[in-house]
Structure 1
Amino acid sequence: MDSGMSADNPTRMADGRRYSEIRRERGTALIEFALVFPMLLVLTLTVVDVSRAFFVKNLAYQAAREGVRSLVVGTSADSALVRQRVMQVTGAAKVTLKSLTITGPDANKLQSVSVGVEFHWLFRGLFSWLGAVFNDPATLTGVAWMRKEG
């Protein structure tokens, strides 16, 4: 088989197809892309926003863990030190602290810190378009428990 057009038949490619068939397939690919692209865009934006929510939720747990750790390791049960440590963790990620609750110790010497942070959705309209309703801003909460030894 020859490698391209021949002088005998200038409208055929090396694989035997006509140029008009190739042009028609190119148009089909463009239409398929135009139909699939919006769905891929919605999927990408959804993944970005939900991933951010997971990140902020994990940050709330981390801030609560750091807060309760400073509470049980320290010699005094000073809520100002706990608040300072929680603010340090949430401030590093530029997340707004909405609530901070310190409880304990209970009968088992467990103390807990509950941290609520404010989360703003980037694409709230996208979720409502998909049928899900989320509050904006949402409050994501993390709770950590530790035992006070000694």
Structure 2
Amino acid sequence: MTAQHRERGAAAVEFALVLPVLLVLVLGIIDFGRVFSAQQTLTYAARAGARVMVLQNSQSAAVSAAQNAAAPLGQLATSAFSVSPSQCSPGTQVTFTVSFTVTGTGFFGNFPLTGTGVMLCGG
């Protein structure tokens, strides 16, 4: 057996040892990017919902605006949105919350996320 054949075998063993680490790294980067994008979308949707609630004082219009803003994540159920308080009076703060769970690549599991928007009524 020549030296080249033994070195080729060593390279295959090294590759087999490094491959799982590289796969975990790549899957982690993919999951992080998806979760980061979803969190930004949820935050934007919560701000949009809070803004409509402050301007129109309509909870249904606020939920509709937030659903439209969260459209890149798919159609979110109405139960994913919450508004506190339900009526906007001058000087109070409206807190609009959006909840969503991102399904990962299967390697790291699921990620529950929440976006929150807070605005002052009549301000």
Contact 1:60–1:142 (8 Å) recurs in 2: yes
Counterpart in 1 of 2:82?
Answer: 101
* Structure with larger Rg: 1
Find the residue that maps to 1:96 and give its secondary structure: coil
Q: Deviations over 1:1-48 (max 9, x none)?
A: xxxxxxxxxxxxxxxxxxx43443333222211110122112211221
Structure 2: gaps of 5 or more residues: none
The letter of the residue matching 2:72 is: A
Query: Equivalent of 1:120, from 103, 108, 112?
Result: 103
The letter of the residue matching 2:100 is: V
Counterpart in 2 of 1:36?
Answer: 18
Structure 1: gaps of 5 or more residues: 1-19, 128-133
Find the residue that maps to 1:139 and give its secondary structure: strand
CA gap 1:117/1:88 in 2 versus in 1, 3 angstroms: same
Query: Equivalent of 2:62, from 73, 79, 82?
Result: 82
The letter of the residue matching 1:62 is: Y
More helix by share: 2
Counterpart in 1 of 2:117?
Answer: 144
CA gap 1:50/1:92 in 2 versus in 1, 3 angstroms: closer
- In the alignment, does 2:38 pair up with 1:65? no
Aligned-residue sequence identity (percent) comes to 27
Q: Distance in 2 between matches of 1:65 and 1:117?
A: 15
**Whose relative contact order is higher, 1 or 2, with alpha carbons under 8 Å and at least 6 apart?**
2
